[in-house]
Chains A and B, each alone.
Chain A
């Protein structure tokens, strides 16, 4: 370990450095390739998720749970079950958001922000965001169980709300296990996927905007 690393570990806590090792460019290339291949083979994803919003400054968190469905091309159903129901459906260029009192429909082509959010979402769940060199600079790390990709937005507008995105890939099948969105304040939202099913048959009706 060189002096810089020792100094860094003093500042940031040695555990982080001990658990995560930055990949060499050859290793990173192989991981990117594997993720891309997995995304190409994936026609659908079905999964439960737990979302934790960590408010680091005040040491509090809000936990919500739900179900998530993805089907190629560009169909996504993101549904919170607890603590309150909340549903987001994206079907091609159309989006539906439904909370307890209101239902909103949007055309994703109508605004740049929607288009960007949509492409981040789709890229994050499939893992293909790590190859989005136009919008993100990315660095790959390795821990015992995961490959971790840290993505920094290049676009100033995205940067304003998302300082960094972290994607945790399963080392065996290269699917996304965990997703973190970090805000510049240090707060972050962690989404952990479980009971993941790849390429199961999901009827199109699940993505119907009714």
Chain B
């Protein structure tokens, strides 16, 4: 039952650098735009053999400007980003992850997720899956970002704030 519901709930599934594949009859529209204010997600992040978990808060701080903060269960910040249409500011990134390639990847993934805009063809490694429960609300229940190049999997599960 669950798996049936799950598979029928796939609203969007697209691979960057390729053509966006949409579920027939659905329209790609980022839930973070429009009247969006903020959202909280239960988060798990796997990078290679490391597993991190906690909560991600996404808040729109101005027109098309977003603050994205991920902290673990005990409250320690893992990353704190500001996303603008034309730039990406790293306020904090947990030291072992603070590498250029990681920053680039996070920028790419969040830009795609939040603005719903596909990046350049260099992004071919990133895959974003957005699962939404039809009929319940328009907010996707689960968002999965994967990047096999650096063995990363970021899972966001929407929570009530």
How far, in whole Å, are A6 and B98 apart by their CA atoms in the complex? 41
Q: Across the interface, which residues of B come within 8 angstroms of A62, CB to CB?
A: 40, 55, 57, 71
Cβ of A160 within 8 Å of any chain B Cβ, yes or no, is yes
Count A-B pairs with CB separation below 8 Å. Answer: 61
Per the bound structure, the CA–CA distance linking A64 and B74 in Å amounts to: 9
Q: Are A58 and B69 in contact (CB under 8 A)?
A: yes
Q: Bits for A30-64, please: 1 = Cβ < 8 Å to B, else 0.
A: 00000000000000000000010101011010101
Chain B, interface size category, equals 20 to 34
In the complex, are the beta carbons of A189 and B69 less than 8 A apart? no
- Say yes or no for B158: interface residue by CB 8 A criterion: no
Indicate which residue in B40, B51, B77 contacts A104 across the interface (CB closer than 8 Å).
B51
Inter-subunit contact B51/A185 (CB<8 Å): no
Q: Is the interface of B mostly helix, strand, loop or mixed?
A: strand
Q: Decide if A55 touches B51 in the complex (CB within 8 Å).
A: no
The number of residues on chain A lying at the interface, defined by a beta carbon within 8 Å of a beta carbon of chain B, is: 27
B67's partner among A57, A99, A181 (CB-CB below 8 A) is A57
Determine if B76 is an interface residue (Cβ-Cβ < 8 Å).
yes
- Residue contacts A-B, CB under 8 angstroms, 22 given: A51-B75, A55-B69, A58-B57, A58-B69, A62-B40, A62-B71, A64-B73, A78-B74, A83-B159, A86-B53, A99-B44, A99-B53, A102-B53, A160-B95, A161-B95, A162-B76, A181-B75, A183-B76, A184-B92, A185-B80, A185-B92, A189-B74
Residue in B53, B57, B61, B73 whose Cβ sees the most chain A Cβ within 10 Å: B73
* CB-CB nearest in chain B for A57: B67
* A95: min CB distance to chain B, Å: 13
> Is B64 an interface residue, CB under 8 A from the partner?
no
Residues of chain B within 8 A of A80, CB atoms compared: 73
From 21 to 64 in chain B, residues with beta carbon under 8 angstroms from any chain A beta carbon are 38, 40, 42, 44, 51, 53, 55, 57, 59, 61
Per the 8 Å Cβ criterion, residues 118-150 of B in contact with A are none
When distances are taken between beta carbons in the complex, the residues of chain B under 8 Å from A101 are: 44
Residues of chain A lying within 8 A (CB to CB) of residue B94:
161
Does A116 sit at the interface, judged by CB under 8 A? Answer: no
Extra inter-chain contacts (4) besides given A62-B57, A64-B73, A183-B92, CB under 8 Å: A58-B59, A102-B53, A161-B76, A161-B95
- Shortest CB-to-CB span from B71 to chain A, Å, is 6
Bound together, the chains give a CA A162 to CA B51 distance in angstroms of 21
Cα A99 to Cα B52 with chains together (Å): 10
